[in-house]
């Protein structure tokens, strides 16, 4: 029996108490579980749970979980999926205190290795990994893109904002496609937009190659890499790749070329050797992806990945079930310069495309002004396309300019409020980079 009680007194969380129920008048031992962690603005509710009815279901965190924000997200996702819990065993295990659908938890959770004696789907999916980084499983590793966010965090956020299979999530700054892959394996449809043609290519290859695996395999021995930097409008014209006549297959081989360009210009690796090595690794990951889909009977979400501008989206108003995105962190990273080798190899004129990239336009303080103008427009667009009552998550970091930390996160909060979003939550995500340099990032959650 789980009874909702009005808890006016200061009953302490997780404290066992004796309560006389009206009906039975018998003394029953209850555990008071405080649902103050209902993240998304709902009123805290306190339930009394009959101790005798509690199934001993223990959940264990995935071993690589180490940051406070990850623990916070783990708790929030568990709550969002309907589980009440107590934390035991040095914060690494959780005892579930109410009746839950074990199978549902196993299929959806992001931060847990076990639900009772069963391994979670996500933990098993993470094992399909040809890299040494836990987060780069399946096709996530493809292309060394600077500024990727953690796939696991996206899965947890999808749970937290209550996205169901078959619904549609938008990422208007799709970058290397992290949101897209996470939605796809969750059976959630995704619209991914980016101004960079390179990002569109990466995101498409990660999510679409699975549908062209046989064709890719058929062409693998005949396609030769092409190091020639093409002229504007000449894309693929002189390469072997153009002869294939299947977009997905052509994209796959072009991607292998782009990684080789990156390896060659950043690490001085031999271009041809890198192409063949990456081609081999990419096909291995796509085969892994196919096996995982079959093993877990995954119904993949539909993907719509396209080049576009977050400041003016080609998307119907009030049509999106959730937004999860990470815009440029102010002026922190010049996405044009950073991927110059690949963008040029694709035949793009950097000077011409540069002005469409948020955070790249202008110089000095003017750059900030332009960044804020652009972000305001993007946020207006996010608000326009999102359905009422649904959530928008923005992951953003502060930058340091001329020795001063610029509070980008609070600026974004004020823009969101201004366009009509309700501010729900800010989760601090401090991470340590090389040489212990602290990077402050925030997960901001809003509701329309
Ligand atoms: C922080 S990155 C996103 C990274 C992504 N979350 C991932 O995991 O790979 C920001 C992205 O915004 C894109 N961008 C910049 N200006 C844009 C604009 N006007 N419209 C759409 N995307 C834009 C950049 O190309 C970059 O890929």
Q: What is the pLDDT along the chain (448 residues), one digit of tens a residue?
A: 333 433 434 444 333 333 333 444 444 343 433 333 455 544 444 445 455 555 678 999 999 888 889 999 999 999 888 888 888 877 788 988 888 888 889 999 999 999 999 999 999 999 999 998 888 999 999 998 888 999 999 999 999 999 999 999 999 999 999 999 999 999 999 999 999 999 999 999 999 999 999 999 988 877 777 665 544 444 443 455 556 678 899 999 999 989 988 888 888 888 888 889 999 999 999 999 999 999 999 999 999 999 999 999 999 999 999 999 999 987 777 888 888 888 888 888 888 888 899 988 888 788 889 999 999 999 999 999 999 999 999 999 888 777 777 889 999 999 999 999 999 999 998 876 655 555 789 999 999 9
Identify which of 144, 149, 152, 194 to mutate to test ligand 1's pocket (most ligand atoms within 8 A of the CB).
194
Ligand 1 midpoint to CA 305 (Å)? 13
Write out the residue limits of the CATH 3.40.50.150 domain(s) in the chain. 134-447
Ligand 1 midpoint to CA 303 (Å)? 17
| Angstrom distance (rounded) from CA 166 to CA 111 | 22
The confidence score (pLDDT) of residue 10 equals 40
The confidence score (pLDDT) of residue 433 equals 61
| Angstrom distance (rounded) from CA 55 to CA 58 | 9
Ligand 1 midpoint to CA 187 (Å)? 23
The answer to whether the CB of 336 falls within 8 A of the CB of 360 is yes
The confidence score (pLDDT) of residue 223 equals 74
Looking at domain 134-447, does it have CATH number 3.40.960.10? no
Dihedral sign from CA coordinates of 273, 277, 279, 280? positive
The confidence score (pLDDT) of residue 12 equals 40
Identify which of 195, 374, 376, 396 to mutate to test ligand 1's pocket (most ligand atoms within 8 A of the CB).
195
The confidence score (pLDDT) of residue 440 equals 82
Ligand 1 pocket: which residues have CB below 6 Å?
145, 147-149, 172-173, 175-176, 178, 193-196, 199, 309-311, 326-328, 335, 356-358
| Angstrom distance (rounded) from CA 164 to CA 183 | 10
Identify which of 180, 335, 350 to mutate to test ligand 1's pocket (most ligand atoms within 8 A of the CB).
335
Ligand 1 midpoint to CA 224 (Å)? 30
Beta strands in 81-203 (DSSP E): 85-88, 93-96, 112-115, 118-119, 168-171, 189-194
Ligand 1 midpoint to CA 174 (Å)? 6
The confidence score (pLDDT) of residue 51 equals 57
The confidence score (pLDDT) of residue 240 equals 53
Model pTM? Answer: 0.86
| Angstrom distance (rounded) from CA 206 to CA 228 | 24
């Amino acid at each position: 029996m789980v009874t909702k009680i009005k808890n006016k007194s200061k009953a302490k969380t997780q404290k066992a108490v004796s309560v006389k129920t009206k009906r039975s008048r018998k003394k029953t031992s209850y555990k008071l579980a405080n649902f103050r962690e209902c993240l998304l603005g709902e009123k805290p509710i306190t339930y009394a749970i009959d101790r005798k009815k509690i199934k001993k279901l223990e959940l264990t965190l995935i071993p690589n979980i180490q940051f406070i924000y990850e623990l916070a997200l783990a708790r929030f996702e568990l709550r969002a999926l309907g589980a009440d819990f107590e934390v035991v065993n040095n914060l690494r295990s959780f005892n579930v205190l109410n009746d839950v659908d074990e199978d549902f938890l196993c299929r959806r959770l992001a931060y847990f290795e076990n639900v009772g004696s069963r391994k979670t789907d996500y933990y098993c999916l993470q094992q399909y990994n040809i890299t040494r980084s836990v987060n780069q499983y399946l096709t996530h590793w493809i292309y060394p893109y600077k500024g990727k966010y953690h796939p696991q965090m996206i899965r947890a956020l999808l749970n937290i904002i209550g996205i169901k299979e078959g619904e549609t999530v938008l990422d208007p700054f799709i970058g290397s496609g992290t949101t897209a892959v996470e939605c796809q394996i969750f059976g959630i449809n995704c619209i991914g937009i980016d101004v960079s043609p390179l990002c569109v290519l990466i995101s498409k290859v990660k999510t679409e190659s699975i549908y062209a695996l046989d064709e890719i395999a058929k062409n693998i021995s005949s396609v030769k890499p092409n190091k020639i930097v093409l002229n504007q409008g000449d894309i693929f014209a002189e390469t072997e790749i153009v002869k294939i006549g299947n977009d997905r297959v052509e994209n796959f081989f072009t991607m292998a070329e782009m990684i080789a360009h990156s390896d060659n210009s950043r690490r001085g690796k031999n271009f041809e050797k890198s192409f063949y090595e990456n081609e081999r690794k990419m096909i291995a990951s796509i085969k892994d992806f196919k096996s995982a889909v079959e093993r877990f009977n995954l119904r993949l979400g539909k993907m719509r990945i396209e080049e576009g501008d977050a400041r003016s989206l080609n998307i119907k108003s009030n049509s999106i079930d959730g937004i999860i995105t990470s815009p440029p962190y102010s002026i922190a990273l010049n996405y044009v310069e950073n991927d110059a080798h690949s963008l040029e190899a694709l035949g793009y004129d950097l000077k011409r495309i540069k002005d469409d990239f948020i955070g790249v336009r202008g110089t000095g303080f003017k750059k900030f002004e332009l960044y804020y103008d652009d972000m305001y427009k993007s946020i207006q667009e996010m608000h326009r396309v999102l359905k009422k009552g649904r959530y928008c998550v923005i992951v953003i970091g502060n930058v340091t300019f001329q020795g001063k930390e610029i509070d980008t996160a609070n600026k974004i909060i004020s823009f969101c409020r201004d366009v009509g979003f309700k501010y729900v939550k800010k989760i601090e995500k401090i991470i340590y980079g090389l040489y212990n340099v602290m990077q402050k990032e925030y997960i901001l959650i809003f509701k329309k």
